[in-house]
Structure 1
Amino acid sequence: MVSVGDPKEIGTIYGFKQSWRKSNFYRALLMKARNKPVEGIFATQSETIHRNLKRPVSGAYSMSNLVSFEPYVDTTMRVLCNQLEARFTNADGLRPTPCNMSEWLQMFAFDVIGELTFSKRFGFLERGEDVDGIMAGLWNTFKKTSLVSQMPWLEYFWTNNPVLRQFRGNGKSPGVEFAMARVQERKALERGELEKEWEVNSRDFLSRFMEIEAKDKNVPREALLVWTSSNITAGSDTTAIFLRAILHQLLTHPSTLKTLLAELDKAASDGQLDDLALWKQTNGLPYLTACINEAGRLHPPFGLPFEREVPPEGAVVCGQFLKGGTVVGMSAWVTHRDWKTFGEDCDEWRPERWLCDPDERKRMEAALLTIVFGEEHLSSGDL
């Protein structure tokens, strides 16, 4: 695999209008259900399957629709705050109980995804633990698949070996199992076979997905499972990593934290922020945005190279001609540290680099694979 670090080549390799074919790297990332790999939006190598899966649901990921979910994010955020206060603060002046914020941020991210997708949280926050080992199961899966993604020939001997999968729990993915259970649960509710014990948001992701499935007979048979499982596996861990990166950098750079708190305090005193601030209220805060961009630059949630194959006619990459079929890839951890783009101090935390003129900021944003693929996801569900 030819590793490419120059941000200028992002458009060449991942151009949205004519993206290069995905390599066998993606086979290892296919979801597993009923002991078999399932073609998903992100991991499928088939353009036809990708198109048939992404086209019906692209509207569900529009920014206007995502913003409509904010009240449900707020509900989970209040649960997090209440749990942290109840478990890790006290009024008697004694030594407080240590809090592993890394774990709590991941539990928060998972519960948010459960609320948005199924109107039902996993229950991590209330219980303060990894329910049914879902987080641990996903982590173990990622550890295996990351190795196989770099050596695809291992797939037949390790991740998709039917004998080994039988010993590892019959090939069940915890995230997929949770999604399948929620889908069956919702269908039972609609048939009147199950008494409703919680409030169902009629516009949550599952409701929208089920409407699409009912109207569009061309969607693949496993579409509902793919859509809901993708939200869990792709939306929870990456969000948790991003939250951890931001909080870690702020706590280890007190001057940065002080500057950010001053910006937030001023916005709050001016009446610009609600108790739980809305996206539209915080989107215009320059230093907060700078901290978010800098955290995603230094610690991108996905570290492996997004591999593609050079088209049959070959292509010039970084001034070198590569023949057709050559596997190329870009890792965000490399691209985000390009000193020509981000400066000589590209290995250091400095949010102020984003407080520049608009043209310079757009140039740096175009070099962030987290933003590039995030925008593609909002329009097509590719990541």
Structure 2
Amino acid sequence: MALPLLTSLLAFILLFALNICHHRAKQYHRLSHVPGPWIAGIFPRLWTIISTARNTLHLDHAAVLKEYGPLARIDPNTLITNDPELIRRMNAVRSLYQKGEWYDLMSFTVDRKHLFSETNEERHSALRARMAQGYSGSDLGNAYLEECVDGRLLDLFSLISAKYLSSGSTLRSVDISRLMLYLAADVVTDIAFREPFGFLTADDDVHGYITTQEELLPVFEWFSAIPAMAKLVKNPWIAKYAMPKNTDKAGLGYMLGVAKRTVDQRFGPNKISKNDMLGSFISHGLDREQCEQEAVLQVVAGTDTTVTSLRTITMYIITHPQVYRKLQDEIDKAQLTFPILTDKEAKNLPYLQACIAEGLRIFPPVTGLFCKRVPPEGDTIHGKFIPGGTEIAYGAWNFYKDAAIFGNDVDVFRPERWLEATEEQAATMRKTTDLIFGYGKYQCLGKPIAMLELGKALAEIFRRYDISLVDPLKGWKCYNRNATALNPKQLQLRTLRKLIPRRHFLAQINSSNMVIDSLQIGSSTSSSPKLRQASKRNGVYWFMKPRLPPVSGPPEEDHARVQLQPRHDIVTIFFPYR
């Protein structure tokens, strides 16, 4: 009796194993004509899991594309490409390609999707059309977006002046990359909710949001590597305990709560109407739950990508002295608005714009797969037929290092390439790097805001400060979390106060129609310094006085912090207007 039972069990196991082998062989054969690592074509997700565990997914993708060409296999049903024309064709407005499974994993809640995670083409197109004018500023005017950025930049400089400015031989340290993170978070929450969270004014991670977000990024990374894990967590029974809730007191759940409370004020019998981005969404037909999801998406998507670009572009500039000198020379010679230059002025600084374009090219802030699904009838790509249902990913890391487009020195940070290129070459380069923000029906709506913030922030930082590495031998570390390439908050910088030379500074003051007044600063001030009031739009005061005495502040904690010191005997103090 036992023997027949054992024989039947072994036969069942053998049959089951043969069925798996047949399925794997069928899967492998389906795309066997596309080259790639052999393990990627046989075992689902195994190659991706190994790369994710090693924290080298973006580098491994780049290596695969370099070895196997512009179309390679990274999973039984997933290909990857670094062909700009293919990306444009897949993302074109009339393309039959659709979002793949990767996007499903990016929702914040179980039962609601936002613009980024919505995979239904009709719903995505309708939602995008209703939101476009709010993001572009056409509803509100560019002045609204500039006001949000200007106010937070003034908060940043006020914090530096009050807490981190050094004098003489006393050097106070500050982690400037941390302040950049606070800046990006405050800007995006100001735009989203018409009120910043106050990271800069508190000089702290308010409600632990940033810490929680950084802790969640590896989770999303593994979700994208193992979709079954994400589906399990989003099961209603498990999600009740595992997913963030708007009643949480910290982290992403707290952000959901803020979004809910803010949106609640805009609906109902006693609703508040405001001429801001949320007001634009509502006026174009977004319902209450859609507004909540989109407000949180603004913050999550807008903070991390922007601060990654701020940090990396700063890093590349300060480690290339010739670039640093040329950029500061361009800024110093320009007749820029005080206290914050305008977006138009930033766009009219060609070398600054070249530095931004080159920084985005050499270190793209987004490295997610952004998989698109081949239409049911299939497609022919590079002479190979790709069956319907196949997903094609975007290989970001070496996407912008094509020597045929950018020149043979593609691994070198050289902003001059953007200024030396012919008009046709420059157009091709811009057309390619614009893909960082997507294309066509999937282009990032936040691109105008990101470029506005990068231009203003970088111009003002290098207008005011000289920056150098604390320990050039240690450099920096880079982590990829599938959605974003992160450089850690411990970016090691040493910063000295950089002010415009006295005669240049005074020449700009005299030509800007500023009003001279006086103000008593603290009880220890023996005489009132001369005060120069800026325009009413900015509501910021400028005055000149001798070097300030050292301010009290935290002692140096580690090598990864920043030191700021007055460079000249002119000190500019900023008082934020709100």
Alignment of 1:170-249 (within 5 A): 174-175=251-252, 177-185=254-262, 187-188=264-265, 202-212=274-284, 216=285, 219=286, 222-249=289-316
1:67 aligns with 2:132: no
Query: Alignment partner for residue 128 of structure 2, among 43, 54, 65?
Result: 54
Alpha-carbon shift at residue 203 of structure 1 (Å): 1.8
Determine the C-alpha separation between the residues in 2 that align with 1:302 and 1:185: 29
For residue 332 of structure 1, give the secondary structure of its aligned residue in structure 2.
Answer: coil
Query: Alignment partner for residue 109 of structure 1, among 184, 195, 203?
Result: 184
* Matched-pair contact (CA < 8 Å) for 1:148–1:154: yes
2:166 alignment partner AA? N
Distance 1:302 1:343, change over 3 A: same
**Gaps spanning 5+ residues in structure 2: where?**
1-77, 451-578
Alpha-carbon shift at residue 339 of structure 1 (Å): 2.2
Determine the C-alpha separation between the residues in 1 that align with 2:330 and 2:423: 20
**Gaps spanning 5+ residues in structure 1: where?**
195-199
Alpha-carbon shift at residue 202 of structure 1 (Å): 2.8
Alpha-carbon shift at residue 52 of structure 1 (Å): 3.1
Q: How many residues align?
A: 365
1:276 aligns with 2:348: no
Q: How far does the alpha carbon of each residue in 1:60-95 deviate from its partner, in whole angstroms, 9 at most, with x for none?
A: 12254462221221111100011022222133x243
User: Which residue of structure 2 lines up, in the alignment, with residue 304 of structure 1?
Assistant: 368
* Matched-pair contact (CA < 8 Å) for 2:233–2:243: no
Query: Alignment partner for residue 79 of structure 1, among 147, 155, 166?
Result: 155
2:210 alignment partner AA? M
Alpha-carbon shift at residue 193 of structure 1 (Å): 8.4
For residue 392 of structure 2, give the secondary structure of its aligned residue in structure 1.
Answer: strand
Identity %: 26
Task: Name which one, 1 or 2, has greater alpha-carbon Rg.
Answer: 2
User: Which residue of structure 1 lines up, in the alignment, with residue 469 of structure 2?
Assistant: none
Distance 1:160 1:365, change over 3 A: farther
* Matched-pair contact (CA < 8 Å) for 2:88–2:439: no
Distance 1:131 1:185, change over 3 A: same
Query: Alignment partner for residue 358 of structure 1, among 410, 413, 423?
Result: 423
Distance 1:130 1:37, change over 3 A: farther
* Matched-pair contact (CA < 8 Å) for 2:188–2:298: yes
Alpha-carbon shift at residue 254 of structure 1 (Å): 1.7
User: Which residue of structure 1 lines up, in the alignment, with residue 89 of structure 2?
Assistant: 12
Structure that is richer in helix per residue: 1
* Matched-pair contact (CA < 8 Å) for 2:371–2:393: yes
Determine the C-alpha separation between the residues in 1 that align with 2:195 and 2:311: 24
Alpha-carbon shift at residue 376 of structure 1 (Å): 2.5
1:31 aligns with 2:108: yes
Determine the C-alpha separation between the residues in 2 that align with 1:51 and 1:13: 15
2:83 alignment partner AA? D
1:329 aligns with 2:405: no
For residue 95 of structure 1, give the secondary structure of its aligned residue in structure 2.
Answer: coil
Determine the C-alpha separation between the residues in 1 that align with 2:288 and 2:122: 14
1:140 aligns with 2:215: yes
Alignment RMSD:
2.9
User: Which residue of structure 1 lines up, in the alignment, with residue 436 of structure 2?
Assistant: 370
**TM-score, structure 1 length as denominator?**
0.86
1:90 aligns with 2:166: yes
1:203 alignment partner AA? N
Q: How far does the alpha carbon of each residue in 1:267-306 deviate from its partner, in whole angstroms, 9 at most, with x for none?
A: 1xxx344431111111122111110011111111111221
For residue 110 of structure 1, give the secondary structure of its aligned residue in structure 2.
Answer: helix
Q: How far does the alpha carbon of each residue in 1:174-211 deviate from its partner, in whole angstroms, 9 at most, with x for none?
A: 345325424424645888989xxxxx993222232333
* Matched-pair contact (CA < 8 Å) for 1:155–1:161: no
Distance 1:144 1:19, change over 3 A: farther
* Matched-pair contact (CA < 8 Å) for 1:28–1:159: no
1:143 alignment partner AA? P
2:202 alignment partner AA? R
For residue 443 of structure 2, give the secondary structure of its aligned residue in structure 1.
Answer: helix
Distance 1:339 1:187, change over 3 A: same
* Matched-pair contact (CA < 8 Å) for 1:58–1:379: no
Q: How far does the alpha carbon of each residue in 1:122-172 deviate from its partner, in whole angstroms, 9 at most, with x for none?
A: 111111111111112222222111222133222223465743761576696
Determine the C-alpha separation between the residues in 2 that align with 1:380 and 1:261: 25
Structure number with higher relative contact order (C-alpha < 8 Å, ≥ 6 residues apart) = 1
Determine the C-alpha separation between the residues in 2 that align with 1:158 and 1:334: 33
User: Which residue of structure 1 lines up, in the alignment, with residue 205 of structure 2?
Assistant: 130
For residue 334 of structure 1, give the secondary structure of its aligned residue in structure 2.
Answer: coil
For residue 350 of structure 1, give the secondary structure of its aligned residue in structure 2.
Answer: coil
Alpha-carbon shift at residue 220 of structure 1 (Å): 5.3
Alpha-carbon shift at residue 320 of structure 1 (Å): 2.3
User: Which residue of structure 1 lines up, in the alignment, with residue 332 of structure 2?
Assistant: 265
**TM-score, structure 2 length as denominator?**
0.58
Determine the C-alpha separation between the residues in 1 that align with 2:281 and 2:437: 25
1:10 alignment partner AA? I
Determine the C-alpha separation between the residues in 2 that align with 1:373 and 1:90: 46
Determine the C-alpha separation between the residues in 1 that align with 2:252 and 2:439: 22
For residue 202 of structure 1, give the secondary structure of its aligned residue in structure 2.
Answer: coil
Q: How far does the alpha carbon of each residue in 1:9-68 deviate from its partner, in whole angstroms, 9 at most, with x for none?
A: 222222233261111111111122xxx242110111111221232222211122544622
1:123 alignment partner AA? G
* Matched-pair contact (CA < 8 Å) for 2:185–2:303: yes
Alpha-carbon shift at residue 261 of structure 1 (Å): 0.8
Query: Alignment partner for residue 42 of structure 1, among 116, 130, 134?
Result: 116
Alpha-carbon shift at residue 8 of structure 1 (Å): 2.5
| Worse overlay, 285-294 or 151-160 | 151-160
Alpha-carbon shift at residue 226 of structure 1 (Å): 1.8
